[in-house]
Amino acid sequence: MNPGLTIRPIASVAPTDVVRTAPVAENNAVRTDLAPSQSVTVAPQSTAIRNDPALMSNQRNVSRELVVDPEMREVIYRVVDVNSGQVVRQVPDEAILRLRAYTRAIEKGKTPAQAFSKADKRL
C-alpha cells in the first residue's frame, strides 16, 4: 500500500559554515574579564542606581514595625512615616488582608454581607 505521501531524504546537502562577527568595541565600554560575546555596555544616558540603606533612610523619616495579628494569625510588616503617621508600605497589602478575612468568614459559614463587614472592620 502506497498512500502516495513519501518523503525522500535529499542526498546532497551542502554544509554551510556559521560566520559570527566580532562585537564592535564601544567607546564607553566597561573593562571586564568576560569574553567579548558575554560583555555588556552602558545604556545611553543612564544614571547609577544604588541600594544604600543609609541613603534611603535619610530621604524619609520612617519607622519599621512588625505587627502580629493574633486573630488572623498574620505577621504584617509596615513602614510608617513618623511625621504624618501614614503607612508608606505594608506587606501583605491591605487588600490582601481584607480578602483573607472575607474568605475566612465565608468558610466559617457567614453570609456574604456578614463576611464583607468583618473584612471591612479588620483594617
| Annotated domain spans of the chain | 56-122
Question: pTM value?
Answer: 0.45
Nearest-angstrom CA–CA distance, 35 and 12: 37
Residue 59 has pLDDT above 60, yes or no: no
Residue 123 has pLDDT above 60, yes or no: no
Give 55 or 46, the one with higher predicted confidence.
Answer: 46
Q: Express each pLDDT in 87-107 by its tens digit.
A: 888 988 888 888 888 888 888
Average pLDDT, stretch 21-46?
A: 67
| CA-to-CA separations, 82 to 50, 66, 75, in angstroms, rounded | 24, 15, 21
Q: 98: helix, coil or strand? A: helix
**Of 93, 90, 98, 95, nearest in space to 72 by CA:** 98
Nearest-angstrom CA–CA distance, 94 and 102: 12
Split at pLDDT 50, 70, 90, the class of 74 is: confident
**DSSP state, residue 113:** H
